[in-house]
Structure 1
Amino acid sequence: MPDPPGKKPAGAQLSRLDRYKRDKVQPDMPPIDGGEYLINYFWEVGPVMAGMDGPVVISQAEIRAWQENAGIDLQPWQAGLLRRLSQDYLAQSHAAKDSACKPPYGELYRSPNLSKLIDAALD
């Protein structure tokens, strides 16, 4: 019988995202200088769409439909960038399921309690 949604099998390690959520930590994000509107568009369009076996990269048709619905006319490079962001987002979301996966930006995650545990072990 499969595990209930949201439950990890016994002995499974938590993903980086699960550790962030557990410890109520906001991950580091890269600075954005001048392209905030494209990031906002990215989150409005996607970042992914539903596929038969789970999330898939947003399609050109989905981007076109979003443009028509939102009344926005993207330049070809902007539409291409949204699709590329979707590809990178999906690839990183799959890679991040491995607890040893390094973050795409910022430092390696360290639990807020880890320093305390190390200090206690050394005392």
Structure 2
Amino acid sequence: MGVDGIVPDMPPIRAPWIIDTLMDIGASEPGAMGPVPLSWGTIGQWQSCIGLELAPWLCRLLRRLSAEFVAESQNAREPDCPAPWTDITDGTNRPTVSRKVSQAFRALINSKE
């Protein structure tokens, strides 16, 4: 896993069986305009087929994880999207950082001319 042999640092998983259950059901399901979160019906049908009865809290958690998966997969299409496990700033200094980066590129371009 990784591009060009680079493996990203991943956060520790404390309950891998929950992720395994989500991946067994499927992290999302097809919708009319792309992936959508798992429906309650899909979770219920999976339980019926497997012969398990999940606790209500676990069903809610799996549905929420599925919704987060779909949302993050859409956000990840943006080139500047941070990894979901990194600390995200509140964005208050984003304009300042953006201005400084723009000025640095402008200075670099002007120095080449």
Q: TM-score w.r.t. structure 2 length?
A: 0.70
Unaligned runs of 5+ residues in structure 2 are 88-113
2:66 corresponds to 1:83: no
* Matched ranges for 1:5-44 at <5 A: 21-33=2-14, 35-44=15-24
Q: Which residue of 2 is the match for residue 60 of structure 1?
A: 40
Q: Is the 8 A contact 1:95 1:101 kept in 2?
A: yes
The size of the alignment, in residue pairs, is 87
Q: CA deviation at 1:26?
A: 3.0
Aligned sequence identity (%): 37
Q: CA deviation at 1:24?
A: 3.4
* Structure with max Cα Rg: 2
Unaligned runs of 5+ residues in structure 1 are 1-19, 108-123
Q: CA RMSD in A?
A: 1.8
Q: CA deviation at 1:71?
A: 1.2
Q: Which has the higher contact order (CA 8 A, sep 6+)?
A: 1
Q: Which residue of 2 is the match for residue 94 of structure 1?
A: 74
